[in-house]
Amino acid sequence: MNKVIMLASTVAMVLCTSVEAQPNNAPNRPWLNPNLSPEARAHDALLAMTIDEKLRLVFGYSDQALTELAKVPDDVVPAELKTYVVTHQIKGSAGFVPGVPRLGIPDQTQTDASIGVRNSFIPSTALPSSLATAASFDPEVPRAGGAMIGAEARATGHNTMLAGGVNLAREPRNGRNFEYTGEDPLLAGTMAGALNFGIQSNHIISTMKHYAINDQETERTSLDVTISAEAMRQSDLLAFEIALEKGRPGSVMCSYNLINGRWGCENDYLLNKVLKHDWGFKGFVMSDWGAVHSTADAANDGLDQFTGFCCVTDTPWFGPNQLKAALASGAIPNRRLDDMVERILWALFDKGAVDNPVKAAPIDYSADAAVSQKAAEESLVLLKNDGDLLPLRGVKSIAVIGGNADKGVIAGGGSSDVTPVGGAIMIREHSFLPSPPLEALRRELPSARIAFDPGNDPASAAVVAAKSNVAVVFVTQHDSEGYDGSLVLADNQDALVAQVAKANPRTIVVVESGGAIFMPWLNQVPAVLEAFFPGIRGGEAIARILTGKVDPSGHLPISFPASAEQLAHPEIPGLGLPNDTPSKITYDEGSAVGYKWYDLKGFRPLFAFGHGLSYTSFALSGLAAKPDGRAIHVSFSVRNAGRREGKAVGQVYLAPADWRKAGWDAPKRLGAFAKVDLKPGQTKMVNVTIDPRLLATYEAAGDKWHIRAGEYRLMLGQASDALTQSVSLTLPDAVWSARTAVAD
């Protein structure tokens, strides 16, 4: 029987003071009638609200407010509101927005983030990083993960998850790439959308973040990004657009940086035009914590909710007084405040947060950890396996070396850092989750002799390796919100791998990292497994893949560069300067992000986007394509040509015969993908549809998508650099409004 751990009393205590919607749908409270549409309910509730009630919904508090708010003068935050906040807020959560008890409108209790509920006082279950689950190439993985972490959010009293990171991995060193879903808009949008869909299946709100082009952590609060509308719409914003369509998040979190000279949370183009007008987004835009810089400009340029206020030192841009003054002077029209509030109400009604108030509930941590383990088992990427060294079978002795593999697996830092049951293990200020691969390997291989060496001294690790049949070296690379990482392994780990490989040519490297790393030792080792930040059961997942209990089926959602010279921007602007130094970057590579950039430049990466090996082999054949309106239906078959069950990932790339004439920034784009589970000898047919936006260019003049007439090749394979079949189609010219996606 699963071990069920009741929640800490903190949660129960917090929840008994929470506002719960009254199940009263009497005619004078029509907004509480679940049979009415969310639009009608939001409108009716708005009509019933006083100005002060409206102002409550647009101004949120960070958890530091619990201790700091008392110092804020009453004319900034009225005393009654302060008391309400400190008596209702959940200690340790990201934020809180007071509800309107009189009308049955619940508080918004906000928790980070995409990997699980983040609250250092409440244990919860960590999924593998979002980049890892994107590597599954199966939206069911983030959906199931989202459903699990969303249920934990509910059970811990939260009705809003600040999840759904979908910034493209333009900058491989971005410290938050692990919170995002890779470098390709179709893959990233599909996977982040699936996560949000899963989270919101718990009748809570999720966000999509950080909108937009927030692709480096260095100077994130002062960086001005220059990028053309065309490039954005075809790449970074397309990822958000797809995520919005698939996941329908109730909220979008605007980002810290500036985009083309305007703050992310004060950006008429991104917020009003693209998000609300073109995509028909009905929910609300919340600010990232501390990302607001004005009252009237932010409100008029599309921000609906200021979040994260705490302290005397913060400027209360959307505080009651500021907003009242701006309304009185006409700087913000009254209808704009109504729109802000109606959008928030709409999200609360549409996502079910009003009809299904959050309640403290027991969490079955063991069942939830199993969801996380399955996600990891679908996501780890076998990068290299020369001579079929893996899986480990019949090995008598193994040297496990380095990476704190005797203690756990590393996790990412910052606002997505999840506290596991029993607490995280802190090793030199980095969190490790208590899932030691060493112990898991010993369980999987009870008759093997498994020695451990911490790897601090490469020479002594090499001695241990030389005495074993096989060496497994664990390397870890920390990444965190707040600063960018390095692609060079820290702490002499490259030397460790090289020396161990010299002592034992049967060396396997397991990489636990936020994203890509350089591997100067790659030619010296026969096998490499990329485990990313693998979550609360990462050790078990690694052991089960190394020993062959599970067939590896992850594929890279990012390219691994071979050197810094291959990067579109070898230097990170602002690196080494004090925080908040005004900095600039121009993304003149346009939409040529990741593999598109490598194709454009003719660079050979260390490992290509989409790459991932299996213990069996697959044969793809019968590629056929048939236009259907602007879309294309594609079919192909996949056969398991090996001797064990496994999962293939079929990838269809699109390539105009002349990509420049087609208006593209690079030679090819991912058009579709499908993961297929196959028994040995089994064949399955796969049908996928190419979204016409992936064939088109965005034309800012006229706000249109445009497929230029001509010949297009569709190429099929199991990685962006391993395409084995192609068919060609001649497509006619097609132009359509970019204002379609959500509204249609």
- Residue numbers at the binding site for ligand BGC (CB under 6 A): 94, 112-113, 162, 209, 288-289, 415
Residue whose entry in the numeric block shows the structure tokens 């790659």: 522
Residue whose entry in the numeric block shows the structure tokens 């500036």: 258
Residue 389 and residue 526 in contact, taking contact as beta carbons nearer than 8 Å: yes
- Residues with Cβ within 8 Å of residue 67, at least 6 apart in sequence: none
Give the span between the Cα atoms of 614 and 137, in whole angstroms: 14
CA-angle at 276, arms to 210 and 349, nearest 5°: 85
Cβ distance to ligand BGC smaller for residue 113 or 648 = 113
Give the span between the Cα atoms of 645 and 655, in whole angstroms: 32
What's 146-173 look like in SS3? Answer: HHHHHHHHHHCCCCEECCCECCCCCCCC
Nearest distance, CB of residue 162 and ligand BGC, angstroms: 4
Single out the residue of 156, 198, 184, 94 nearest to residue 416, CA to CA.
94
Residue 118 and residue 417 in contact, taking contact as beta carbons nearer than 8 Å: yes
The CA distances from residue 589 to 512, 597, 648, in Å, are: 29, 7, 32
Residue 117 and residue 108 in contact, taking contact as beta carbons nearer than 8 Å: no
Query: 3-state DSSP call for residue 593?
Result: coil
Residue 559 and residue 607 in contact, taking contact as beta carbons nearer than 8 Å: yes
Cβ distance to ligand BGC smaller for residue 92 or 101 = 92
CA-angle at 446, arms to 442 and 451, nearest 5°: 45
Which residue of the set 288, 297, 479, 494 is catalytic?
288
Nearest distance, CB of residue 328 and ligand BGC, angstroms: 31
Nearest distance, CB of residue 238 and ligand BGC, angstroms: 21
Torsion-angle region of 260 (φ positive above 0: left; ψ -120 to 50: alpha; else: beta): left
Nearest distance, CB of residue 307 and ligand BGC, angstroms: 8
Nearest distance, CB of residue 61 and ligand BGC, angstroms: 12
Nearest distance, CB of residue 252 and ligand BGC, angstroms: 12
Nearest distance, CB of residue 264 and ligand BGC, angstroms: 11
Helix 538-546 crosses helix 437-444 at what angle (to 10 degrees)? 40
Cβ distance to ligand BGC smaller for residue 289 or 712 = 289
Active site annotation includes 288 = yes
Nearest distance, CB of residue 187 and ligand BGC, angstroms: 21
Residue 473 and residue 496 in contact, taking contact as beta carbons nearer than 8 Å: yes
What residues are paired with 384 via a beta bridge?
Answer: 528
Nearest distance, CB of residue 631 and ligand BGC, angstroms: 34
Give the span between the Cα atoms of 147 and 190, in whole angstroms: 16
Nearest distance, CB of residue 300 and ligand BGC, angstroms: 24
Residue 203 and residue 106 in contact, taking contact as beta carbons nearer than 8 Å: no
Nearest distance, CB of residue 421 and ligand BGC, angstroms: 22
DSSP for 415-432, please give it. Answer: TT----TT-PEEETTEEE
Q: Which two tokens stand for residue 248?
A: 């329908």
Query: 3-state DSSP call for residue 674?
Result: strand
Summarize the chain as % helix, strand, coil (round to 5). Answer: 30, 25, 45
Neighbours of 132 (CB within 10 A): 31
Nearest distance, CB of residue 724 and ligand BGC, angstroms: 40
Give the span between the Cα atoms of 358 and 583, in whole angstroms: 42
- Residues with Cβ within 8 Å of residue 546, at least 6 apart in sequence: 390, 391, 392, 441, 444, 472, 508, 510, 529
Cβ distance to ligand BGC smaller for residue 209 or 675 = 209
Cβ distance to ligand BGC smaller for residue 197 or 289 = 289
Nearest distance, CB of residue 171 and ligand BGC, angstroms: 16
Amino acid letter, residue 454: P
What residues are paired with 707 via a beta bridge?
Answer: 734
Cβ distance to ligand BGC smaller for residue 10 or 221 = 221
Cβ distance to ligand BGC smaller for residue 62 or 295 = 62
Give the span between the Cα atoms of 111 and 151, in whole angstroms: 12
Single out the residue of 90, 253, 83, 66 nearest to residue 159, CA to CA.
90
Query: 3-state DSSP call for residue 84?
Result: helix
Give the span between the Cα atoms of 104 and 25, in whole angstroms: 10
Residue 157 and residue 18 in contact, taking contact as beta carbons nearer than 8 Å: yes
Helix 185-200 crosses helix 140-155 at what angle (to 10 degrees)? 40
Single out the residue of 180, 167, 134, 163 nearest to residue 236, CA to CA.
167
Single out the residue of 242, 241, 234, 247 nearest to residue 195, CA to CA.
247
Active site residues: 288
